[in-house]
Amino acid sequence: MSKFSDLVGKLTRGQGRIERLLAFVSAIVIMCMMFITSIDVIMRYVFNSPLAGGFELQEFLLVGVVFLSLAYVQSVKGHFSLDLLTVRLPLGAQTTLLVLGHIICLVIFALITWQSGLRAWIAWTTGQTREGLISFPLWPAKFMLPIGMGLLCLRFISDIATDFRDRWRKK
């Protein structure tokens, strides 16, 4: 049992480093968005010439902000949860519901990862662009979604393993 526990611990720590890195990248992207917005406002109201493609670029950056940080938020249990009824259940039932919820989320987000990965691959191979003042390629933004969702799936797998490990320790 200790080998399993040690392996789960090592994988979770390594995964945590990647999640923190992507959350940091997400924070940097937010700062870039603030900078672009500031430049756009200054150019629009001072020089009467808005930043070309600023709006379109911000759409792409927002994808990174949202999806690159999801796994980190899950790792710190920052997502919304309602445990009004489950806290009244015995520990075994709580663990079972928690694992079941993680499995359901894993299946749903694995499907999202798979389908968004296909869409990103198609965008990359066909050279899809977003039409606007500047034609931005779609594939970088589209690849952020399966990267973030895939890491979230790994987090759910880690959470399931951790739930089992913690349950066995309490016995």
Q: Is the pLDDT of residue 6 over 80?
A: no
Residue 109 exposure: Cα atoms within 13 Å on the Cβ side? 23
Q: Is the pLDDT of residue 145 over 90?
A: yes
Residues 115, 38: Cα–Cα separation, whole Å = 35
pLDDT band at 151 (very low <50, low <70, confident <90, very high): very high
From the list 109, 107, 99, 112, the residue with the least C-alpha distance to 158 is: 99
* pLDDT for the residue 149: 95
Q: Could you give the residue ranges of the DSSP H alpha helices within 47-138?
A: 54-67, 70-75, 91-126
**What is the mean pLDDT of the segment spanning 150-159?**
92
Residues 170, 89: Cα–Cα separation, whole Å = 16
**Distance, first Cα to last Cα, the chain:** 13
Q: Is the pLDDT of residue 4 over 70?
A: no
Coil, helix or strand at residue 130? strand
Q: Is the pLDDT of residue 59 over 70?
A: yes
Query: Is 99:109 a contact under the CB 8 Å cutoff?
Result: no
The total number of structural domains that make up the chain: 1
Domain that holds residue 86: 2-170
Whether the pTM exceeds 0.85: the reply is no
pLDDT tens track for 66-123 = 999 999 988 888 777 777 777 788 877 888 888 898 999 999 999 999 999 999 999 9
